[in-house]
Structure 1
Amino acid sequence: MPRRTATMLASTLVLIALLCAGVLIKVPYSEMSPGPTVNTLGDAGGEPVLQISGRKTYPTSGHLNMTTVRVTGADYRMNLMETVYGWLAHDSIVVPHSTLYPDGKTEEQSTQENAEEFTQSQETAKVAALKALKLPVATRVVVASVVKDSPAQGKLHAGDVIREVDGRKVEEPGDVAKIVTQRKPGEKVVFTVVPAKEAAAAEKAHRAQPTATEKITVTTKKADDNGRAIVGIQAGTDHTFPFTIDIKLADVGGPSAGLMFSLGIVDKLTEGDMTGGKFVAGTGTIDEKGKVGPIGGIQMKTVGARKAGAQYFLTPKENCATAAADVPDGLTLVRVDTLDDAVKSMEGIKKGDTAGLPKCSTG
């Protein structure tokens, strides 16, 4: 065999071996890429994303898009070739698998957690929007969950509104534990509650303060970790709104759409057009006071937004530096720290007066 032919054959075999290795060798990395972006002012799956009844709404135009990120599954292991390609690609990010699935979290656990966060983000988005509009929102302490085989099981139920514990008024979730732990294990605690069914009926009828209460006696037991008295419930907060706001969006998880949901609600409940027909996208968690929080995958969200046609991207203050390091052409990053910030920036975007917008920078 001629020497040149032998060299070419050897090189080809080495290349084939490297390609096979690249496909067969699994590495502990996962990939993030741009996910779907949905207009909160528009439709998804054939029905409006935001559905408001019992209150006058106003016509809207343009876009207020929430953005998402796609990630590889918890059980999927990237091969070496996929990882190298992901590192080189502009529209994806490769991160350690443990970043997306810490402590061996399964895909099912991650999906469940994301679903719970998404549901909570919808609730806080409604609260933030209505508070921004100076509309009444009633807050109440509820039984968020009941521990299996605990003293409270079968007596207290998720959704029960807790009015009093041992005759003392409950105003914050933390009040429940404070009162219960003043008892000794084995002693009885009396809960004054509005049953979950009555509370749900009152909420449906937009009655902020249901009155049908019951007294439930629960015998405490000793906690395994510190020996204090417990009954086995987790207290939380719930809200009653003066009219119905439904958010219809399937197959989305996590808390990062909160800001855009709030803006969409404000736009629909406010006379006049918030966007001026512009295409605005954004992201960010939101709390009940309208504070906007940071999210993950910001660079993938800006890429996805620009591909969808966005001209402006509302960016949480704490994500600004990362987002500004690689901005898609034609996209303006607008820094927001609160819902009020976002509404004010939308006024400038609508008028085309963008010189004064708070922009993101790498500094």
Structure 2
Amino acid sequence: MPRRTATMLASTLMLIALLCAGVFLPVPYSEMSPGPTVNTLGEHNGEPVLQISGRKTYPTDGHLNMTTVRVTSADYRMNLVEAVYGWLAHDNKIVPHDTLYPNGKTEEQSTQENAEEFTQSQESAKVAALKELGIPVQSWVIVSTVVKGTPAQGKLHAGDVIKAVDGTAVKQPSDVAELVTRHKPGQNVVFTIVPAKEQAAAEKEHRTATVTENVTITTARSTDAGARRAIVGISAGTDHTFPFTVDIKLADVGGPSAGLMFALGIYDKLTPGSLTGGTFVAGTGTIDDNGKVGPIGGIEMKTVGARDKGARFFLTPADNCASAAKDTPSGLTLVKVNTMSDALAALKDIRAGNTADLPKCTVKG
């Protein structure tokens, strides 16, 4: 065989081998891409996203779209060719697998965590919207979870209302850990609670729960990476009673990042006039009970998804502004917001056509 033919054959075989390696060689990466956007003022799968009963509501128009990101599953093994293609694709993002699924987190664990965060974001959105409207919301501290194998198991239960610890009134979740850690491991701590069943019955009957119990628990020594301290094995959270019903109907979505857009949608339905003035506005951001907007992941994917659907303005958490502004989709204005009040002020300017006054995102933040 002539040398030239042999060289060409060897090169061809080498190329085929490299291509095969690229197809079959797994790499430790995952892919993020733009996901669906849903108008919180509209319908999804044939039913309203926001359903409010027991309170007067008003017609709305325009869009207040929440945005999402698609990610590859925890058990998906990307090959080298897919990774290279993703790196070259403008609308996708390739990230280390551990960024999305740290510490070997499974698909089931990730889904459960996202569902819990989504539920919490809905509650905070309701509270933030009603507070902005000056509508009272009753709140209390509850047992969110009880860790299996800890002193609290069998003594405290998820949904129990924590009224006091060692006789000191509890006003916020952080008070619980602070009061427990005043003890040394092995010492007793006394929880004054309203049992979850009693609280549920009181809510159903629209009355205040009056039955309380004192529960004594012997603390244990913590075993996590933090400082050694006394623990009982619970996490505390907040629950609320609303003066009317607000249901958020949106399946197959997880995580906390829709909080701001849910809060704005609720506010719009409870106030006369149009919050958007008929404009297509999208956005993202976590929200807490006081209306503080927090950063989210995948901002570049969400702005692309919003613009593809027709959004003209995108409400962007201040801490995401610099990243989002590096590659802003054509025709989309990124509006910087720190709080729900900032978002309402921006929407007022958008309705009035005062877009020059909007606080816009820049690469500096």
TM-score, length of structure 2 as denominator length? 0.91
Looking at structure 1, the residues matched to 99 and 77 of structure 2 have their Cα atoms a distance apart, in angstroms, of: 14
Task: Name the CA shift for 1:282/1:9 in 2 (closer, same or farther; >3 Å).
Answer: same
Of 352-361 and 32-41, the range deviating more from structure 2? 352-361
1:53 aligns to what?
Answer: 53
Looking at structure 1, the residues matched to 149 and 19 of structure 2 have their Cα atoms a distance apart, in angstroms, of: 55
Looking at structure 2, the residues matched to 230 and 12 of structure 1 have their Cα atoms a distance apart, in angstroms, of: 65
Instruction: Give a deviation string over 1:166-188, Cα, whole Å, max 9, x none.
Output: 43322223333444455566665
The answer (yes or no) to whether the contact 1:206–1:242 under 8 Å persists in 2 is no
Instruction: Give a deviation string over 1:237-268, Cα, whole Å, max 9, x none.
Output: 21111111111111111111111011101101
2:202 aligns to what?
Answer: 202
1:128 aligns to what?
Answer: 128
Q: Does 1:66 align with 2:66?
A: yes
Of 319-328 and 3-12, the range deviating more from structure 2? 3-12
CA shift at 1:125, angstroms? 0.9
Of 315-324 and 210-219, the range deviating more from structure 2? 210-219
CA shift at 1:27, angstroms? 1.2
Task: Name the CA shift for 1:185/1:25 in 2 (closer, same or farther; >3 Å).
Answer: closer
Looking at structure 2, the residues matched to 311 and 177 of structure 1 have their Cα atoms a distance apart, in angstroms, of: 45
What SS class does the counterpart of residue 296 from structure 1 fall into? coil
Q: Does 1:238 align with 2:239?
A: yes
Looking at structure 1, the residues matched to 174 and 348 of structure 2 have their Cα atoms a distance apart, in angstroms, of: 39
Q: Does 1:87 align with 2:87?
A: yes
Looking at structure 1, the residues matched to 240 and 158 of structure 2 have their Cα atoms a distance apart, in angstroms, of: 14
1:105 aligns to what?
Answer: 105
Q: Does 1:304 align with 2:299?
A: no
1:31 aligns to what?
Answer: 31
Q: Which amino acid aligns with 1:101?
A: Y
Looking at structure 1, the residues matched to 319 and 180 of structure 2 have their Cα atoms a distance apart, in angstroms, of: 39
Looking at structure 2, the residues matched to 18 and 231 of structure 1 have their Cα atoms a distance apart, in angstroms, of: 56
What SS class does the counterpart of residue 26 from structure 2 fall into? coil
Q: Which amino acid aligns with 1:257?
A: A
Q: Does 1:214 align with 2:212?
A: yes
Looking at structure 2, the residues matched to 98 and 323 of structure 1 have their Cα atoms a distance apart, in angstroms, of: 22
CA shift at 1:306, angstroms? 0.9
Looking at structure 2, the residues matched to 311 and 41 of structure 1 have their Cα atoms a distance apart, in angstroms, of: 17
Looking at structure 1, the residues matched to 186 and 329 of structure 2 have their Cα atoms a distance apart, in angstroms, of: 63
Looking at structure 2, the residues matched to 217 and 272 of structure 1 have their Cα atoms a distance apart, in angstroms, of: 51
Q: Which amino acid aligns with 2:310?
A: G
Mapping of residues 94-173 of structure 1, within 5 Å: 94-173=94-173
Task: Name the CA shift for 1:177/1:318 in 2 (closer, same or farther; >3 Å).
Answer: closer
Looking at structure 2, the residues matched to 198 and 102 of structure 1 have their Cα atoms a distance apart, in angstroms, of: 39
Task: Name the CA shift for 1:201/1:51 in 2 (closer, same or farther; >3 Å).
Answer: farther
Instruction: Give a deviation string over 1:50-83, Cα, whole Å, max 9, x none.
Output: 1111111111111110001111111112111111
Task: Name the CA shift for 1:228/1:96 in 2 (closer, same or farther; >3 Å).
Answer: closer
Task: Name the CA shift for 1:184/1:334 in 2 (closer, same or farther; >3 Å).
Answer: closer
Looking at structure 1, the residues matched to 196 and 61 of structure 2 have their Cα atoms a distance apart, in angstroms, of: 39
1:284 aligns to what?
Answer: 285
2:316 aligns to what?
Answer: 315
CA shift at 1:110, angstroms? 1.5
Looking at structure 1, the residues matched to 5 and 178 of structure 2 have their Cα atoms a distance apart, in angstroms, of: 83
The CA RMSD over aligned residues, in Å, is: 2.3
CA shift at 1:200, angstroms? 2.3
Q: Which amino acid aligns with 1:223?
A: R
Structure 2, unpaired ranges of 5+? none
The answer (yes or no) to whether the contact 1:188–1:217 under 8 Å persists in 2 is no
Looking at structure 1, the residues matched to 261 and 287 of structure 2 have their Cα atoms a distance apart, in angstroms, of: 9
Matched positions, count: 361
Looking at structure 2, the residues matched to 97 and 153 of structure 1 have their Cα atoms a distance apart, in angstroms, of: 34
